[in-house]
């Protein structure tokens, strides 16, 4: 037995003493990776995505989990670029890849080489079969599809009360057409009961059409995986859509998503917001159209007023004051008298020349001619006298005007106390109306 000052005893090492191999960490991890490669790879696994992220490099990192556990996954840029959908948390997927060990952290890791939505193959096959069947029956024919109403009295929306699609639709309608009422017919949009609730909501909208005055229906839901949208691939729902008494707009999923409801609806919109925009033109568009219509109407009225004003001016120029009318008549009479004198002189000259050739009959013919000419002159003078308007005034008549010279012919155009002017054959006089007898003839 050694004393305290002697060398200490070496601590025991069970691994060395038993002959167990001592591994460097890196070597152990590589050995484990080799064992996984030989035992499992390639591997296919199904689970739910959680913690999904896409790096700037294009690589994707996430975990795949189920009720019993989870495994870290990496999907490098080349494989990620081949995806035909956008992975998201909570999505059930099937992965194919190779198990390995991420040595810097000593973690088990699945390097994903391909990914598809779980059950997509079977669901897509069912989708294609139903699509072919309904298409053969004519449910997708464009000839039966109706245009959307230009000015709907009300817009119906069939969707879930808790769906983001409802918020998007209502927001778009409030922004574009706040004057149009929106009637909501709630129904589940995902799950086993969703197809039946959607049918019931549509039938309720059909029955209440006379009351709600809904002229177009929006069937909407946000995006999701094929299984999330499966309720909109229901055959009975498709037939219910086709039986709608009003046009139906389908806005289900994203632009790349297609459902049977899209093919049966009268119009397919790429998103719920787009469905709302298709049904309600912006209020500013209608206000602009009204403004243009008002401008055209105002211009038309202005043109009519200008035309009538010109016609009125022309008529006023034709119906001038009586004094102007008398002046024109006098000028006309003077012209007629001058023409008559020229005519008489011409006749006299002609007769004189004739008399010179017939000197034997001169006395008698001259007398006869002079007598005829005298009679003609007298008759012409008589006609001239009868047409002279001053003769009317000489017989005691007067021409009545207001102080501005407008002729007055009716008693009902006068007012008590009104000042008038009387135009007599010689001179004028001012008078004031003291009594009126408008009904006497």
For residue 165, count CB atoms less than 10 angstroms from its CB and return exposed for 0-12, middle for 13-18, buried for 19 or more. Answer: buried
Residues 184 and 279 in one domain: yes
Are 340 and 380 in contact by the 8 Å Cβ rule? The answer is: yes
In this prediction, residue 6 carries a pLDDT of 45
Domain end position, chosen among 284, 312, 337: 284
Q: From CA 298, how far away is CA 31, in angstroms rounded?
A: 91
- Quick count: other Cβ atoms within 10 Å of Cβ 77? 12
What's the predicted TM-score (pTM) here?
0.45
Closest to 273 (Cα-Cα) out of 169, 180, 178, 176: 169
Indicate whether 164 and 182 sit together in one domain: yes
Q: Do residues 167 and 273 share a domain?
A: yes
Phi-psi region of 110 (alpha: psi -120 to 50; beta: other; left: phi over 0): beta
Residue 263 lies in a domain: yes
Contact predicate 410/367, CB 8 Å: no
42 & 114 share domain: yes
Tokens of 125: 């096959």
Residue 413 lies in a domain: yes
182 shares its domain with 98? no
Residues 411 and 441 in one domain: yes
SS3 content of the chain, % helix, strand, coil (to 5): 50, 20, 35
Residues 402, 332 share a domain: no
313, part of any domain? no
Does 382 lie in the same domain as 397? no
Which mean pLDDT values do the consecutive 10-residue runs of the chain (441 residues) have?
Answer: 46 58 79 74 86 92 89 91 85 86 82 81 79 94 92 94 91 89 94 93 95 95 84 95 96 86 94 91 66 76 78 68 68 82 80 65 69 83 72 80 86 86 86 81 54
In the sheet that holds 155-159, the strands lie side by side as 182-186, 155-159, 216-221, 248-252, 267-268
Domain that holds residue 403: 393-441
> Does residue 251 contact residue 165 with C-beta atoms inside 8 Å?
yes
Tell me the C-alpha distance between 159 and 221, whole Å: 6
User: Looking at the domain assignment, is residue 292 inside a domain?
Assistant: no
Count of domains forming the chain? 4
Q: Could you tell me if 280 and 156 lie in one domain?
A: yes
Residues 6+ apart with CB under 8 A from 135: 263
User: Of the candidates 254, 284, 314, which is a domain's last residue?
Assistant: 284
The answer to whether the beta carbons of residues 74 and 64 sit under 8 Å apart is no
In this structure, is residue 227 part of a structural domain? yes
Same domain, 89 and 183: no
Domain boundary among 219, 254, 284: 284
Q: Is residue 132 part of a domain?
A: no
Same domain, 156 and 260: yes
Helix axes 322-357 and 362-387, enclosed angle (nearest 10):
180
- 124 domain-assigned: no
Residue 352 and residue 365: Cα distance in Å, rounded?
10
Domain CATH code at residue 194:
3.40.50.2300
Token pair 């120029």 is at which residue? 317
Kindly state whether residues 161 and 260 are assigned to the same domain: yes
Instruction: Kindly state whether residue 308 falls inside one of the protein's structural domains.
Output: no
């Amino acid at each position: 037995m050694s004393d305290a000052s002697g060398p200490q005893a070496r601590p025991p090492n069970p691994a060395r003493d038993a002959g167990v191999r001592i591994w460097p960490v890196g070597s152990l991890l590589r050995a484990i990776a080799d064992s996984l490669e030989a035992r499992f790879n390639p591997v296919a696994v199904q689970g739910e995505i959680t913690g999904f992220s896409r790096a700037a490099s294009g690589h994707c990192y996430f975990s795949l989990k189920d009720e019993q556990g989870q495994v870290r996954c990496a999907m490098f840029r080349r494989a990620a670029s081949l995806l035909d959908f956008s992975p998201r948390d909570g999505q059930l997927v099937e992965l194919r890849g190779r198990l390995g060990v991420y040595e810097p952290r000593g973690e088990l890791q699945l390097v994903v080489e391909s990914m598809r939505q779980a059950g997509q193959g079977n669901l897509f096959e069912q989708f294609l079969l139903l699509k072919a069947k309904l298409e053969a029956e004519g449910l997708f024919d464009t000839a039966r599809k109706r245009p959307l109403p230009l000015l709907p009295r009300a817009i119906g929306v069939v969707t879930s009360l808790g769906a983001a699609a409802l918020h998007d639709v209502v927001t778009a309608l409030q922004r574009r057409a706040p004057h149009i009422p929106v009637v909501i017919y709630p129904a589940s949009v995902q799950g086993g009961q969703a197809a039946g609730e959607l049918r019931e909501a549509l039938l309720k909208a059909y029955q209440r059409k006379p009351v709600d005055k809904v002229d177009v229906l929006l069937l909407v839901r946000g995006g999701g995986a094929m299984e999330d949208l499966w309720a909109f691939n229901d055959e009975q729902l498709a037939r219910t859509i086709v039986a709608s008494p009003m046009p139906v707009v389908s806005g289900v999923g994203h632009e790349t998503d297609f459902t049977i409801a899209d093919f049966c609806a009268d119009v397919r919109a790429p998103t719920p917001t787009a469905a709302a925009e298709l049904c309600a033109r912006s209020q500013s568009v209608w206000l602009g159209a009204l403004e243009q219509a008002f401008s055209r109407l105002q211009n038309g009225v202005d043109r009519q007023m200008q035309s009538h004003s010109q016609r009125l001016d022309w008529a006023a120029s034709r119906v001038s004051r009586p004094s102007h009318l008398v002046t024109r008549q006098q000028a006309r009479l003077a012209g007629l008298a001058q023409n008559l004198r020229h005519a008489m002189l011409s006749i006299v000259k002609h007769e004189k020349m004739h008399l010179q050739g017939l000197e034997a009959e001169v006395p008698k013919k001259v007398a006869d001619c002079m007598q005829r000419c005298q009679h003609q002159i007298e008759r012409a003078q008589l006609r001239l006298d009868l047409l002279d308007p001053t003769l009317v005034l000489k017989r005691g008549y007067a021409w009545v005007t207001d102080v501005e010279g407008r002729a007055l012919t009716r008693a009902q155009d006068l007012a008590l106390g009104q000042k008038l002017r009387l135009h007599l054959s010689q001179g004028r006089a001012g008078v004031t109306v003291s009594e009126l007898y408008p009904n006497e003839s």
